[in-house]
Amino acid sequence: MDRDYKNEKNQNQRIRNNCKYYLQGRCTFGNNCYNIHAEVVNKLISPDQYQIKWVSQDDFKIDLKETERYNIQLNVPFQQTNNQQEIILIRHGLSYYNYVSSDFYYHTGYSFQEEPSRDVYQTNPALIDSDLHPYGVLMSENCAKNLYNINISVVFISPLARALQTAFHLFKSHPNQAKIKFVILPDLTEVLSKVQDISNIRKQIDTYGNCFDFSLMKSDFEENLEFWQILNLHDEEEKDLIKNRYLEENKDNKQPQSISEVILKIMKEIFPTAIERKKNLYFRADRARKRIQNYVQENKIDTSKSKIALITHNAFIQTFTSYGISEGGYVSRGKPMVNCEMAYASLYQ
The length of the chain, given as a count of residues = 349
pLDDT > 80? residue 12? no
Residue 10: its pLDDT value, please?
Answer: 37
Assigned architecture for domain 5-49+57-222+274-345: 3-Layer(aba) Sandwich (3.40)
Beta-sheet pairing, 87-91 with 181-184? unpaired
Inform me whether the pLDDT recorded for 333 exceeds 70: yes
Please tell me the predicted confidence (pLDDT) of residue 1: 42
Residue 13 has pLDDT above 50, yes or no: no
Q: Judge whether residue 11 has pLDDT over 60.
A: no
> Is 346 in contact with 323 (CB distance < 8 Å)?
no
Virtual torsion, Cα 31, 7, 287, 156, nearest 10 deg: 90
Q: In this predicted model, what pLDDT tens digit does every residue of 317-328 receive, in sequence order?
A: 999 999 999 989
| Cβ 310 vs Cβ 87: under 8 Å | yes
Tens-place pLDDT, residues 200-212? 999 999 999 999 9
**pTM for the model:** 0.92
More confident site: 197 or 333 = 197
DSSP string computed for 89-111: EEE---BHHHHHHHHHHHHH---
Q: What is the C-alpha separation between 121 and 130, in angstroms, rounded?
A: 11
**Cα 161 from Cα 62, distance rounded (Å):** 22
Local confidence band at 14 (pLDDT 50, 70, 90 cut-offs): low
Neighbour tally for 276: CB within 10 Å = 21
Strand-pair category, 87-91 with 307-312: parallel
Q: What's the CA gap between 47 and 112, in Å, rounded?
A: 12
Task: Give yes or no for a contact between 79 and 338, defined as CB atoms under 8 angstroms apart.
Answer: no
User: Within 13 Å of residue 96, how many CA atoms lie on the same side as its CB?
Assistant: 22
Residue 152, classed as helix, strand or coil, is strand
Of 3 and 62, the structure prediction assigns the larger pLDDT to: 62
The values of phi and psi at residue 42, to 5°, are: -60, -40
User: What does the mean pLDDT of the chain come to?
Assistant: 92
